[in-house]
Amino acid sequence: MAQVIVCQNCKSEVEGVEQIVRCPSCHAIFEDPSRAKPVTKEKLEIPTELIHWDNRFLVGNKIIDEQHEQLCYLINDLHRAVQSRTYRANFILDTVKALLDYVSNHFRTEEALFVGTSYPDTELHLKEHHFFEEKARAIRKDYTEAQIDLKPVLRFLVEWFVRHVQQVDRGYKNHIGK
């Protein structure tokens, strides 16, 4: 039975090593390598969600909060599809496309709310959305052409979601209606 070590930081599975000192996937360094515990594949527990939706993400607008919650579910869906290893590449590609399309539609909803308000950070916010959409185009292209490893993509999506919603989206909380 293959022995697998799980990185305690990004949950990547590594085979064929005694212990992880530096995770080859996320590059986390373990000062105490015993933190990265060996487990057998049978005992491997894959978390069912990467982001747990809760009120730390609320911006106070019903439509936006529902869209952010849906986005959170779509990221978790992609995570489960990638981890299960039983889905076909076409299904995963459809999941990636659905998620990225959903984000673009969500951006347009937010941007429409800025029009006619005195929200002072509109330009900066649009730049953030533009940056994500550039990155999304590259992810879509890379996965379509070569079925790249999606674990780093998921890490990017989680980090982006948490930071953008909590730090950038919440900035307009007092400038748009409920």
Binding residues for Fe ion (CB under 5 A): 110, 169
Strand 3-6 versus strand 38-40 pairing type: antiparallel
Beta carbon of residue 140, minimum distance to Fe ion (angstroms, whole number): 19
Nearer to Fe ion, 95 or 110 (CB): 110
Residue 92 dihedral angles phi and psi, to the nearest 5°: -65, -40
Beta carbon of residue 132, minimum distance to Fe ion (angstroms, whole number): 8
Nearer to Fe ion, 79 or 110 (CB): 110
Nearest to 148 by CA among 80, 93, 79, 84: 93
Nearer to Fe ion, 61 or 95 (CB): 61
- What is the rounded distance in angstroms from the CA atom of residue 134 to the CA atom of residue 95? 18
| Residue 176 token pair | 């748009």
Local structure of 7: helix, strand or coil: coil
Nearer to Fe ion, 31 or 54 (CB): 54
Beta carbon of residue 161, minimum distance to Fe ion (angstroms, whole number): 9
